[in-house]
Structure 1
Amino acid sequence: MSGTGFAAVTAQVVVVVGGAPLLAGLMRQVRAGMEGRAGAGIGQPWRDMRKLLRKEPITPVGTGPAFRTAPALLVATTAVVAALMPLLSTNTPLSGKADLILVVALLALGTVALALAGLDSGTAFGGMGASREMTVAALVEPTILVAVFAFSIPAGSTNLPAIVAGAVRDPSRLASPAGLLATAALAVAVLAETGRIPVDNPATHLELTMVHEAMVLEYAGPDLALVELGSQMRLTVLLGLLASLFAPWGIATSSSWAALAVALVMFIVKVALLGTVLAAAEVFWAKLRLFRVPELLAGSFLLALLAVTASYFLSGE
């Protein structure tokens, strides 16, 4: 394996870890501008994280290992996903291990870790948030699997780099009915997995509606900084997955330093554009009532099933 493969893996992890707070800051700034506010600036999430890291960690009485290890586990699993995914290149030392099922399992592991931490806190809000989070996850994870599986049928593999490489060679499959249905289903799943409007509102602490925030109310200091970083990294990774599958142009498929540099710039541009569009759309969207969320997620799962069916018949031709 050439040095560009190792450089691509390193660059993916560094860009996701370092750029995730900047993406969150960009989205907040876009929303502030559209709402007529000045905003705190794109770098505000990094400043908030630096402030939290300087504070003393506080652990509630009665909590166990699940509460203490969840923040680090959330960041670690997301970093591994960032290393596995073909965000910059399809030719890396980890390409053979980047299976769709493994990636979704790692994302689910981070979700389960936070849910267990919410239960371990022993508070009513923690248990409520964990229950809601697992309900959403039970509908979201199968949708991600089935939606990406629609892309994997033409490629003949569930290996993500192979799927993306096949899409680069044959872009017409992305504009097919199967590709469009799968993209729509995956987009809804990304909104639910990252706790964005209309499924959840990351900017609110209203007890009756919060899902993700209810699980992390007891965290403070460095632990809260890790939780925030992990959530921002998950958003960046999932937007990167969406961009890699639906708009794979610019991703390096060869061992070339120039191609890797172009892929890095294109990845930053595509994720920033997706984040800007999402932030602008959230200004006009209203959060769904909690009991309407399963209907939305069931609809996205149905779109994913239709995408798989269409992909199967179209590939048979």
Structure 2
Amino acid sequence: MSTSVPIGTALTAGTAGTAGTAGTAGTAGAVGYAAVAAQILVVVAGAPLLTGWMRQVRARLEGRAGAGVLQPWRDTRKLLRKESITPVGTGPAFRAAPALLVATTVVAAALVPLLSTDTPVSSHADLIVVVALIALGTFALALAGLDTGTAFGGMGASREMTIAALVEPTILLSVFALSIPAGTTNIPAIVSGAAHEPARLASPAGLLAAAALAVAVIAETGRIPVDNPSTHLELTMIHEAMTLEYAGPDLALVELGAQMRLTLLLGLLSSLFAPWAIATSGSWAALAIALVAFAAKVCVLAAVLAAAEVLWAKVRLFRVPELLAGSFLLALLAVAASYFLNGAGS
């Protein structure tokens, strides 16, 4: 038995349903764009604060008062007021490196799911793309160190590329171990899958990958025991040796780029292995919660790293490749364990 519905009622219901769907999609799209903008803003504006927080934690543990959390922002403001100096004989590589370092980090911050896995650029956030962006910034700074023609610049660039040759494959393999159960190398999909199935992170593959990626992050950001960011001894410098010839706004960009990379990599580590509270849907409330959770997780990781730097000593330069080779082996074991565990599960 059929029931007739007035044409006007049917059209009204259809129009209301279409409008509701369009409104929901529009809201989700707006939240996605807001998430991308928030990720970039929190990395750019929060990076100096995170560095200041780490310095303050170290100062307190060493029995000092410390300069305050806002000191990196004061240093940046002071450098921006000074004059840029370009050494004689340098080419475009030296002048373009600071801006390229910051630009690649900003693009990577937009792609990595720090706050949300549902953004307009999520489909482009492939593992290889993100690692390539990080490597491009490292290569640009190393090329700038070579471009100066100084002994310390060349020495720092050589050491930096030696470390990068071991660090970048470790990052790739560590995240690739998590991509095997997810079935994709798309980082937002990996994080979303881990958020819905936390048991993946407690597996042997997840624990090995976490240890390997932690060592790689320490090496990539130039922290103790691989490098000392506050050293003034030229023979032990790695990152600082490449930036000796920079001054003024260029030095401010280099320092800001290094701080942003630290924030980005700590955020990537927290998103992959502590994906709780990350927004997986287009909701304003979920995005606000994700922002607070991200700040808390990154601050905890930074405090742990700062405390470890107080207790650790910098290893000898010739022992650094052994440490990084060990982390690469852990990442390789993580990939093997993930492959066999998921193969057995299927």
TM over 0.5: yes
User: Residue by residue, what CA displacement relative to the aligned partner does 1:263-300 show, whole Å, maximum 9, x if unpaired?
Assistant: 00000000011000100110000001000000000000
User: Residue by residue, what CA displacement relative to the aligned partner does 1:79-121 show, whole Å, maximum 9, x if unpaired?
Assistant: 0000000000000000000000000000000000000000001
Answering whether residue 52 of structure 2 is matched by residue 62 of structure 1, we say: no
Name the CA distance, whole Å, in 1 between partners of 2:95 and 2:312: 35
1:314 Cα deviation after fit? 1.0
1:313 Cα deviation after fit? 1.0
Match of 1:130 in 2: 157
User: Residue by residue, what CA displacement relative to the aligned partner does 1:26-48 show, whole Å, maximum 9, x if unpaired?
Assistant: 00000000000000000000000
Name the CA distance, whole Å, in 2 between partners of 1:57 and 1:214: 18
Name the CA distance, whole Å, in 1 between partners of 2:227 and 2:335: 28
Q: In the comparison of the two structures, how many residue pairs are matched?
A: 317
2:293 to 266, 276, 292: 266
| TM-score when normalising by structure 1 | 1.00
Which structure has the larger Rg over C-alpha atoms?
A: 2
Answering whether residue 96 of structure 2 is matched by residue 96 of structure 1, we say: no
Provide the aligned C-alpha RMSD in A: 0.5
1:80-229 matches, within 5 Å, as 80-229=107-256
Match of 1:315 in 2: 342
| TM-score when normalising by structure 2 | 0.91
Name the CA distance, whole Å, in 1 between partners of 2:190 and 2:342: 14
1:250-265 matches, within 5 Å, as 250-265=277-292
Structure 2 residue identity aligned to 1:274: L
1:303 Cα deviation after fit? 0.2
1:26-65 matches, within 5 Å, as 26-65=53-92
User: Residue by residue, what CA displacement relative to the aligned partner does 1:40-70 show, whole Å, maximum 9, x if unpaired?
Assistant: 0000000000000000111111111000000
Answering whether residue 253 of structure 2 is matched by residue 244 of structure 1, we say: no
Match of 2:310 in 1: 283
1:172 Cα deviation after fit? 0.5
- Corresponding residue SS for 2:235: coil
Name the CA distance, whole Å, in 2 between partners of 1:206 and 1:57: 24
Name the CA distance, whole Å, in 2 between partners of 1:147 and 1:219: 34
1:205 Cα deviation after fit? 1.7
Name the CA distance, whole Å, in 1 between partners of 2:74 and 2:314: 28
- Corresponding residue SS for 2:149: coil
Structure 1 residue identity aligned to 2:149: G
User: Residue by residue, what CA displacement relative to the aligned partner does 1:132-170 show, whole Å, maximum 9, x if unpaired?
Assistant: 000000000000000000000000000000000000110
Answering whether residue 320 of structure 2 is matched by residue 293 of structure 1, we say: yes
Structure 1 residue identity aligned to 2:282: S
Name the CA distance, whole Å, in 2 between partners of 1:99 and 1:205: 38
Match of 2:106 in 1: 79
Match of 1:9 in 2: 36
Name the CA distance, whole Å, in 2 between partners of 1:269 and 1:247: 11
User: Residue by residue, what CA displacement relative to the aligned partner does 1:190-227 show, whole Å, maximum 9, x if unpaired?
Assistant: 00000000000000021111100000000000000000
Name the CA distance, whole Å, in 1 between partners of 2:29 and 2:107: 20
Name the CA distance, whole Å, in 2 between partners of 1:63 and 1:246: 43
Percent identity of paired positions between Structure 1 and Structure 2? 80
- Corresponding residue SS for 1:217: coil
Name the CA distance, whole Å, in 2 between partners of 1:53 and 1:299: 41
- Corresponding residue SS for 2:236: coil
Name the CA distance, whole Å, in 2 between partners of 1:205 and 1:140: 24
- The unaligned stretches of length 5 or more in structure 1 are none
1:179 Cα deviation after fit? 0.2
Name the CA distance, whole Å, in 2 between partners of 1:254 and 1:261: 12
Stretches (4+) displaced over 4 A: none
Structure 1 residue identity aligned to 2:162: T
